[in-house]
Each structure stands twice: as C-alpha cells, then as structure tokens.
Amino acid sequence: MAFKLVLVLFLCSLPSILCEKNNDVTIIVKGSTIEAEIYDSFVCATLDWWPPEKCNYNECPWGNASVLNLDLNHSYLSKAIQAFSPLRIRVGGSLEDQVIYGVGSLESPCDPFTYNSGGLFGFSKGCLSMERWDQLNRLFQNTGAIVTFGLNALYGRHQGRKGAWQGAWNSSNARDFMEYTISKGYPVDSWEFGNELSGSGVSARVGAQQYGEDLIVLKAIIDDLYNKSHSKPLIVAPGGFFDNQQWFVQLLEVSGAGVLNAMSHHVYNLGAGNDPRIIARIMDPNYLSRFADTFRNVKLTIQRHGPWSSAWVGEAGGAYNSGSRLVSNTFLNSFWYLDQLGMASKYNTKVYCRQALIGGNYGLLDLETFIPNPDYYSALLWHRLMGKGVLSIDFSGSSFLRAYAHCSKHKSGVSILLINLSKSTGFGVTVRNNLNIDLAEVSVLKQTVSWYGEKVYDGSETREEYHLTGKDGNYLSRIMLLNGNPLQLTKDGEIPELSPVLTAINSPISIAPLSIAFVVFPKFEAKACA
C-alpha cells in the first residue's frame, strides 16, 4: 500500500497530462461567506462610435453599427436588449474623445466622423446631434437599459509630443450636453470620463495629475446639475489598460475620496484579431489564468489607495482591432468570455462591459442580421443565473476544468459555472458543501449521497443543468446548442427559451470535452446567500 501511494505521488509530480486520466472531480463550495460581490447589472455591452470606414486586416467589419448610424428600430435589437431586463449599455469607444455634442453653441454644423489620416485613429472629429441622442434614449427607455456614457476627455486640450495631450479639460460642451440630458429626463446611471488615455495611452494620453484634477471638475458639475435629484450618476474612469499601476494610484490620490466611484480598465488579452495563436490561447488554462494578476492588482490598488471606489471592466473584446473573424463570433469565444466573467467576479469587479453589443467581429449580435451570436446566449445565461454573491470553492484535478460559484440570481441556492477546455477529457463532477465536509469523508456516504449542507437528499430532489456545446461538435460553429438544441430566434424573432434539464441532485455532473455548463442547486444550503 505504501509503495502504491509513493508511485501515485511520483506520477502526479510529472507533467499534468499523466494525471488527467482521473476525470472524477469533487468541488467543495464554501457557502458560509461571500468572497466578493458584483452588481445585478454586472453584464454590460458597448455601443461604439466606429464608422463604416473602420477597417482592419483588409476587412471593414463595422458597417452601420455606430452610435450614429445603427438601425435603432430593428426589432431584433430591441428584443435582444429587453431579454436581460435590464442590460447595462456603455456608450463609448476609441473615438469618444473626438465626439462633440450638438447642443448649445455647437448645435451646427453637426457632422459625422470622416476618414482623416492625420486625425486620432485616422478619423476627424464627429458630432452627436441631440436628435440622435433623443432616438438613442427612446431605445434605452423602451428596453429598460441602464446607461453608462463615455464623455470626451480631450475636449479643450492641445496635442503635445509623442501622443501626450496638454492643458485642462474644457467642460463647457459636456456640461451643455448633460444639462440637455437632464432637461429631457434621460436617466444616465454613470458618466465615464475618457477612453484609453491612461498610462502610456493608445493613440493619446493624459497625465494622471491633470486627469485627477479634471475628475474633480466633473464631480462638481454633477453635484451642481443633479442637486435636486434623488440620486446622482456615478463617475467612472479612466477606461484604459492597467499597464501602469502608479498612474492609477496617482489618479486616485489626486482626485481624492468620494470622487471616482468606479476605476475602469480594458481587457484585450488574446492579442490582435489576426493573431494565429488566438484559438490555442483560449484553450490554454495557464494562458487564461495569467490575467488574474491584473484583476488582483486592480483590486489591491483600490483597497490601498481608493477604497471609496470599485473596479469595472469598461471594455473587453478579447482580441483587439475589431476581434477575430474566425473566432470572436463562434462558440469557442464563450470559453474565454465566461472565464473572464468568472475570474473578474472573484476579484470584486462590479461591472464587465463586452465590446460590443453589435459591430466588429466580436459583436454579441451579428452585424448584418442582428441575430445573436453564441456569446450573446452565454451572457444572458450568466445574467439570469449567477447572482451578486461570489462564493469561494476548493477543488483539485485537471487545470482544464474551470469552476466558479455564485449565489443564485434572485432566488435561494447556488449556481455553478463549469468550463471544460479539454478536447478529449470529460469530467464527472461532484459538488459538496463545506458545512459538514468532515462527515462526508465517510467513504460509504461519499459514494452514495451528495452533501449540500446539514441535510442529506435521497435522490428525489433535482438540480438545473444548462449544457452548452458547438453545433455538430464544432467548437468554431456560429450556432451554440443548449442541452443539444440549437439556440436560434423563434419564427417571430423572439429570444428562445433557455430551459434547463432537471437531474437528480445526487448524481455526478457530466461535463463533456469542450463544453460549458451552468448548474443550479436550488436547495444548496449557503448561509451567506440567505
């Protein structure tokens, strides 16, 4: 017996592939305390400003998906937003710092973006007319959307050397726009200030000292304009990459307590849209896990230097430059996307905005037809099943199995997300509660019952399972299956029912290779979720 134990330990000290033959996994959920907390409106999608002339890699995947030209009356668009009840929509993107608002002294002319090789990102300034803003708000109000709007943070500055912009922000145009918004009764949940101007920036950057001083100005404007409101919009910034921690520290310290409500950062960790390694990266658990360091550092920065603030992902498309036309709109991308939602939640991220609702190759909706892509349904399932409370879990086994646990959404119990990145190995997963894990160690009981707290269930109770796979076993399919059935709009253009299969609560959960599953345990005793 001792020799066998030593042999097993030796084999498991070798590369992990030798130990992946054991595909039975036990997950222990710690339901006594909340590890982190997200907003109910955690899932968010972006409406971007890119015009049809935005091109990457010899293709132009934006068409009429811009804030300025999107068909706001398309029934599929409205129904896709309404299904979330509510969906947070962030209006923003690379060109937001070139947007002027057609109001006050700037009512005319109000021209769209045009190609300009000497302009920021290769485009001229563009204008949002108040007529278009009215149309957008009709969509938002009719669908119950929660609005985060990204303000132009370069207005009034002048361009210096090497992409550095100098001078203070001129708030006059933004103030006129906000006054108009308030006068019309349009609810804006949060105003985001700038896009990718932090640290070294992308095409432009602003120093942290000046940025922090400008946030104080924005805070004063909001306090003044919303002084008669029951609630005030949040301030979100800087909407850039967390590639210079000290820049973010200085931003928090300069702006001071109570000014910046949410510190936002962007995620494009899969590389360029034409990078041939994207598929391999999505399937590599070690690669996916690297980004945990960024989430951890954002969390620690806020804890140490700005505890009045919270962490948001203001924009995340996986692959930058409009996404990958071969991957971003396929089932495979949901492995990256859902893993990001789970990972971000663990580090107390309150909101996660997907680039984009429509447009590019990474749109949740198809650019031409407005039909949902696979990631749309992944986002909708997360939104409906995974509640605010994030629970800690323990499990050992293959690194190719990812697991995340939350309190269930607006009901008792626990919801678990399981992601199997392996092409060849399936897993039998047993979920247990740490409330009386010591009792469950009795070998006979371990084989015959599952423990979900102080009660033992005899098999008459059931759990809900939502298994996601690619059509015909193709992980690059544009059609995703839910429990073997294709997720497609109904004949009336409605979002289909997302119905689970019910399974005996004591049976192991079977996770097929390259599949995803949400599993809901309605009777799981998690004291922290009560």
Which residues are the active-site residues?
196, 315
Separation of alpha carbons 522 and 530, rounded Å: 12
Nearest to 86 by CA among 416, 351, 414: 351
Residue 144: Cβ within 10 Å count:
12
**Backbone CA torsion sign across 485, 280, 344, 255:** negative
HSE-up of residue 370 (Cα within 13 Å, Cβ side)? 17
Nearest to 192 by CA among 46, 65, 50: 46
Nearest to 156 by CA among 164, 147, 165: 165
Q: Report yes or no: 450 and 505 within 8 Å, Cβ to Cβ.
A: yes
Separation of alpha carbons 167 and 213, rounded Å: 11
Separation of alpha carbons 211 and 195, rounded Å: 12
Beta bridge partners of 431: 27
Beta bridge partners of 29: 393, 433
Separation of alpha carbons 491 and 192, rounded Å: 39
Q: What token pair was written down for 274?
A: 């034409």
